[in-house]
Amino acid sequence: MSSGAYRDAAIRDLIAAADQVAWVSGREPWREFLLGLTRGRWPRRHGWPVVPRLSMPWQDTVSAERPGWRMRAANLRYDDGDGPDRDEFAFAVDYQLCHRCEIGWVEQPYTLPAYQRRGLAAAGLAALRAENPGFTWHTLGCHIDGSSAFWDSVGIGVAGGYRRSSVCEHVTAGG
């Protein structure tokens, strides 16, 4: 089997497993307590948060770029028959949920160029929607040129349609 065939099979398996996610909360109870006590003045975060790499192909962790947001990511692992197994990041999207308003926002989806237009982003977004039934879905609207076709495509039949919307009063934009 060729290297491309191994990769194609691994991508199909990854898409099929989008509902099997490893979670890390990323909560820091003592830090949250102190922030509440000091009304957000202390302790301030310096630098980027540490985002772990988990053993499952799909993972849900803290966002590396938006405080208070989550990141859904896919890591592609496959044996191409030519040495050690391949293990590489393939897709990620930041998201935020408001359970009071039943609204979800997704922002900055990214798929490595080698894996674009293969269904990873659609599978990741579909898994988030399945985990949060009844939610409407939006973006903050900070899109790169040419991304409207992507949002139109993944927004078909989705409540909210991934149209631009500011976050509600219960959450912060975080970046």
What is the average per-residue pLDDT within 83-105?
88
| 149-166 pLDDT per residue, tens | 888 889 999 999 999 999
pLDDT at 46: 56
Instruction: Give the closest residue to 131 by CA, choosing from 167, 100, 99.
Output: 99
pLDDT at 114: 86
Q: Please check the confidence at residue 94 and state whether its pLDDT lies above 80.
A: yes
| 15-39 pLDDT per residue, tens | 998 988 887 766 555 555 665 677 6
| 101-124 pLDDT per residue, tens | 999 999 999 999 988 999 999 999
What is the average per-residue pLDDT within 28-51?
59
Instruction: Give the closest residue to 62 by CA, choosing from 17, 101, 31, 16.
Output: 31
Average pLDDT of the residues of the chain: 81
pLDDT at 175: 44
Q: Give CA–CA dist 60/75, Å, rounded.
A: 11
> In sequence order, which residues have a C-beta less than 8 Å from that of residue 98 and are 6 or more positions away?
104, 167, 168, 170, 171
- Bond from prior residue into 29 cis (ω within 30 degrees of 0): no
